[in-house]
Amino acid sequence: MKTRYTMKLNAIALALALAYGGAAFAGSNEASIDQTGSGNTASIDQSTHVGKATADIMQNGNNNAGSIVQDNGSGTIAIHATINSIGNSNQAGVTQRGLDNASATINQNGTSNNASITQDFPTPTNPGNVWADGDQASITQLGSSNTATIHQQGTSAPLGDGGHATATIGQTSSFNSDATINQTSYPTKNSSSTISQDFVNNVQATVNQAGNDSVATITQQFSGLSMNASINQAGGSNTATVFQDDAFSASASIGQTGNNNVASVSQRPSSGFASFSNSATAAITQNGNDNNAAINQVGTNAGGHLGDGASATISQIGNLHVATINQTGVSQRSSAAITQTSTAETALVNQNHASDSTASVTQDGAIGMNNATVTQSGTWNDATILQPASVNVATISQSGLGTSGAHNVASINQGTRNNTASISQAGGAGNTATIRQ
């Protein structure tokens, strides 16, 4: 086991400044620990420093633990923490409290590792500094059975632009790994969360955000089986995006509370051989006004391949929403459902080259003025639109072959007055169309 310590103490800079009568020597702490071997522990505590602080830990081996604690900084002085570890079953943690524009980075290469970064407030040594504007946190892990967590709290001042916290997690060549980012505590603004998981199986990615004007993105790709992504946002003008490539048995969910939010999910097979997106599920829930939701599922079940196609669900509560579901490519036994509860809503469902698939739109606001459109091409498909109020528009278009077993089936059910309904069926016999007003 080899250990090397390097420290440049604030006291040295202070002594030089006093000796030469100059103000050029600002307070500065630098600490680094380098360990090789297994079962090592490294800890750097810079919780009482005044001025710039930099901490670095490098560990090469198994069952090692490294931790860095920093606080008592300001927005004009750089605070940095870095932990690099190579090996298995290692623990790495960085805690930064009450620091503006601080940065923390953890890089791990191996299996069964755990990494966590916490950037929050208040500072125990400086309770008056309760904000952590502009903090940056990054975790990178290569290997399986790893866990990464970033927690950023109180990331903006109550007035002004504020915020701008950034959190990034990247996991590569991983099985059974988890990634979580939490950006919480009002009034957070302009925060950004990004999780990327590449060449993975059975992984989970979660982002939780509270505040306005924030962005959350999860990308999962080149998977053999089971990718799970979840984004939850509270506040206004937020954007949430989930992209899943080679999405066999993948699941994605987005929940948003507030106004003027945008949510989108994309699930598709990769361009590789024998790539499918069977049994992929996507769900978006929005509560508030003037939100926009879109789910795009491509090639959700290759022709002749066993198993169910994809499932897409959008639920919106509030006014002036737009919801879109596209299921395209060769698809069998897929389902799409949109539920909107209020007034002046728009719903669009497009199932292209579908077979034995279903689409339903429910717009049950008390006033109405909603618009719903379902388009299906393929065979043996069902479409239903329910609009119990007035002043609605509903359109169903089906092109493809129906059978004597009641496919294709199209049904529109509307309220009492000032409604418009249209059903178009083409491509063969065995079609059934029903309009009730």
| Residues 6+ positions from 12 with CB-CB distance below 8 Å | none
* pLDDT classification of 101: cutoffs 50, 70, 90: confident
Whether 11 shows a pLDDT value over 60: the answer reads: no
Dmax of the chain from CA atoms?
99
Q: Calculate mean pLDDT across residues 215-228.
A: 86
Q: Based on C-alpha coordinates, what's the Rg of the chain?
A: 27
Compute the distance between CA of residue 368 and CA of residue 139 in angstroms, rounded to an integer: 48
Which residues of 248-401 form beta strands (DSSP E)?
A: 251-257, 262-268, 281-287, 292-298, 311-317, 322-328, 331-332, 335-341, 346-355, 358-363, 371-379, 382-387, 393-399
pLDDT in tens, 230-240: 999 998 889 99
* pLDDT classification of 247: cutoffs 50, 70, 90: confident
Compute the distance between CA of residue 56 and CA of residue 7 in angstroms, rounded to an integer: 10
Question: How many other CB atoms are found less than 10 A from the CB of residue 52?
Answer: 18
* pLDDT classification of 8: cutoffs 50, 70, 90: very low
Whether 72 shows a pLDDT value over 90: the answer reads: no
Check residue 308 and give its pLDDT.
67
Residue pair 75/52 in contact by the 8 Å Cβ criterion: no
Q: Calculate mean pLDDT across residues 390-395.
A: 92
pTM: 0.90
Q: H or E element: which one contains 280?
A: none
Q: Calculate mean pLDDT across residues 231-251.
A: 89
Check residue 348 and give its pLDDT.
98
Question: How many other CB atoms are found less than 10 A from the CB of residue 231?
Answer: 28
Whether 414 shows a pLDDT value over 50: the answer reads: yes
Listed range (47-56, 168-177, 204-213, 360-369) with the worst mean pLDDT: 47-56
Check residue 20 and give its pLDDT.
38
Check residue 18 and give its pLDDT.
32
Whether 121 shows a pLDDT value over 80: the answer reads: no
| Residues 6+ positions from 191 with CB-CB distance below 8 Å | 152, 155, 156, 163, 164, 165, 166, 167, 183, 209, 211, 214, 215
Compute the distance between CA of residue 10 and CA of residue 51 in angstroms, rounded to an integer: 9
Check residue 422 and give its pLDDT.
96
Check residue 19 and give its pLDDT.
37
Q: H or E element: which one contains 13?
A: helix 10-20
Q: Calculate mean pLDDT across residues 68-93.
A: 86
